[in-house]
Amino acid sequence: MKILFPMERNSMKQHWLGIMTLSAVLKKGGFQTEVVVAEEEIVLEKIKNNEPTILAYSTPTFLAKFNIEFNLKIKKRFKDVFSIFGGPHATYYPEMIENEGIDAICVGEGEGAIHDLATNIANGLPVTDIKNLWVKENGKIRKNPLRPLVENLDNLPYPDRDIFIPYQSKNPLASIWTMSARGCPYKCTYCFNHSYNKLYQEQGYSAVKVRRRSVDNFIGELIEYKKRWPATYFIFVDDIFVLMPEWIKEFSEKYKKLVDIPFVCHVRANAVNNEVISEIKKAGCTLIKMGVEAGNDHIRKEVLKRNMSKDLIVNAAKIIKDNGIKLFTFNVLGVPSSTIDNDFETLALNAKCKADYATTFIMRAYKKTEIYEFSRKKNLLHEEFIEDIADTQNIFFSSPITLNPKDARLLENLLYLFSISVKFPWIVPLVRRLLIKLPLSKVYQLIFTNHYRFIKLLYSPKKFERIYLYLDSVIKI
Ligand code: SF4
């Protein structure tokens, strides 16, 4: 019995930790798994040779439309193949099961559910009562309750990275993404975490608590990778890596001794202090990513619900930089109810933090988030976002907020010129008075792309990789 994970070709180079973990759980249960390019001939060929088959689609919002349409094409040819959709879009919008061709939706954590599904199908048992699944049954939809979250993450196998090896770039030095914890206790209005926590709370479970693997389990995974890919560096994608100071202390000592490879991690400004940052610096942290998000106090504290002062953010940045760690920030422009002046306040705060690179997005208002409801109530959303966000393309550069074309251009131009302005704040008056008003988005996009390439080259943790990445970006080696 085989579980296929069809994936849109361009998205395969990303780090799909969810699929890797599901694959590991399934393999441990004795099933075969494979990631396949979501192209008809390829998937049909696999199905022909491996029935019975489950098609499992990990579905963030930007792939929802693609996955639904692709799945339907396959189901029209092989109606007995079982299709299941999981991931963020399915979790927050399980109503997507109403689309023709979808047999089931997995809500929340999927490891236990997909294992039960594969087991039942393999044994010819019904699948309609499996917890976490919404399942179609004779034209009706069975909405099963959630099961508790995985309490002890050490019980999960290490992510199955082999499943992606055929699709990875030729670069043997690529970074490895992994995580030590699940969950976040904060309630930023644009983030899925508060909806996720609410979803579980409604069924009597607490999801607010951060669940963290033991240090030994986490280090064990890293040692395994180090043996197989000796020149890599790690990116720890925990929402906030520096939580739990005791854990960090133990991790730092063992990591330095047993792994000793540069790493990158994410922090939240209010969790930063000199003790914890100097610990991870000693262990090998070379770059930290931290959310600044918005420079205006009202937007940051009330609209985004990130209750941190500017001083706290600047101080956290100072601690990071004083410890000799590079700082990349995350920012969001075009927050509902904000103005372009507010976005320039964000730029000023980044400049004050002396960010080495400022990553900037235009606000997304995903369904079921608080910011979506806030925007909807204030009539700020485009129709297409109210109808079905899955239809929206180009998610990183278009705004869900109703803007006239002139404002949309200002926002897009500022996005492209943001990080370079943070680096060279003396150009800000020119950017503000003139540059963002000119119809030169294509030129600014070029500046933006090349600045990013340059930064990657400059700050990648390994020198050899810097050269490789640069050559790769220019001549596609
Ligand atoms: S701190 Fe980060 S992960 Fe946590 S809720 Fe806010 S944005 Fe989400």
For the cut 60, the answer to whether the pLDDT of residue 438 exceeds it is yes
Average pLDDT over residues 206-212: 79
Residue 184 CA: which ligand 1 atom is closest? 4
Least-confidence region, from 4-18, 58-72, 252-266, 375-389: 375-389
**pLDDT tier at 384 (50, 70, 90 boundaries)?**
low
Residue 298 corresponds to which amino acid?
A: H
Least-confidence region, from 47-56, 124-133, 146-155, 281-290: 47-56
* Per-residue pLDDT at 195: 86
For residue 457, what are its two tokens? 């080259």
Question: Cα torsion at 160, 162, 163, 164 (round to 10°)?
Answer: 110
Residue to probe by mutation, ligand 1, list 179, 187, 191, 195, most atoms within 8 Å of CB: 191
* Per-residue pLDDT at 473: 54
* pLDDT mean across residues, the chain: 88
Residue 191 CA: which ligand 1 atom is closest? 8
The bridge status of strand 211-212 relative to strand 181-182 is antiparallel
Residue 239 CA: which ligand 1 atom is closest? 3
Average pLDDT over residues 259-281: 96
* Per-residue pLDDT at 169: 63
Q: Are 397 and 361 in contact (CB under 8 A)?
A: no
Among candidate residues 348, 300, 290, the one with its CA nearest the CA of residue 320:
290
3-state secondary structure of 25: helix
Residue 185 CA: which ligand 1 atom is closest? 4
Distance CA(224)–CA(161), nearest Å, equals 11
For the cut 90, the answer to whether the pLDDT of residue 408 exceeds it is no
Residue to probe by mutation, ligand 1, list 268, 288, 289, 301, most atoms within 8 Å of CB: 268
Q: Give distance in angstroms: CA of 267 to centre of ligand 1.
A: 10
Return the DSSP state at 148.
Answer: P
Domain 169-473 has CATH 3.80.30.20: yes
Average pLDDT over residues 425-446: 92
Of residues 162 and 167, more confidence is placed in 162
Least-confidence region, from 43-57, 259-273, 393-407: 393-407
Please list every protein residue whose CB sits less than 6 Å from any atom of ligand 1. 184, 186, 188, 191, 193, 239, 268
For residue 105, what are its two tokens? 């939706």
Question: Cα torsion at 144, 149, 152, 153 (round to 10°)?
Answer: 100
Domain residue spans of the chain: 2-143, 169-473
For the cut 60, the answer to whether the pLDDT of residue 476 exceeds it is no
**Which residue owns the Cα nearest ligand 1 atom 6?**
188
Residue 52 corresponds to which amino acid?
A: P
Burial class (CB in 10 A: 0-12, 13-18, 19+), 100: exposed
**Which residue owns the Cα nearest ligand 1 atom 3?**
239
For the cut 50, the answer to whether the pLDDT of residue 348 exceeds it is yes
The bridge status of strand 176-178 relative to strand 140-143 is unpaired
**pLDDT tier at 61 (50, 70, 90 boundaries)?**
confident
Distance CA(216)–CA(213), nearest Å, equals 8
Q: What is the pTM of this model?
A: 0.90
Give residue 470's Cα distance to chain centre. Answer: 24
Distance CA(47)–CA(78), nearest Å, equals 8
Q: Give distance in angstroms: CA of 457 to centre of ligand 1.
A: 28
For the cut 70, the answer to whether the pLDDT of residue 217 exceeds it is yes
Distance CA(216)–CA(251), nearest Å, equals 8
Q: Give distance in angstroms: CA of 12 to centre of ligand 1.
A: 25
Q: Give distance in angstroms: CA of 439 to centre of ligand 1.
A: 35
Q: Are 427 and 413 in contact (CB under 8 A)?
A: no
Which tens digits make up the pLDDT trace of 277-325? Answer: 999 999 999 999 999 999 999 999 999 999 999 999 999 999 999 999 9
**Which residue owns the Cα nearest ligand 1 atom 1?**
186
Residue 306 CA: which ligand 1 atom is closest? 6
For the cut 90, the answer to whether the pLDDT of residue 466 exceeds it is no
Q: Are 183 and 210 in contact (CB under 8 A)?
A: yes
* Per-residue pLDDT at 26: 98
* Per-residue pLDDT at 465: 56
Average pLDDT over residues 211-219: 97
Q: Which residue has the tokens 């980044």?
A: 350
Residue 293 CA: which ligand 1 atom is closest? 7
CATH topology of domain 2-143: Rossmann fold (3.40.50)
* Per-residue pLDDT at 390: 46
**pLDDT tier at 401 (50, 70, 90 boundaries)?**
low
Q: Cα-atom radius of gyration of the chain, to the nearest Å?
A: 23
* Per-residue pLDDT at 258: 96
Return the DSSP state at 159.
Answer: P
**pLDDT tier at 391 (50, 70, 90 boundaries)?**
very low
**pLDDT tier at 176 (50, 70, 90 boundaries)?**
confident
Q: Give distance in angstroms: CA of 265 to centre of ligand 1.
A: 14
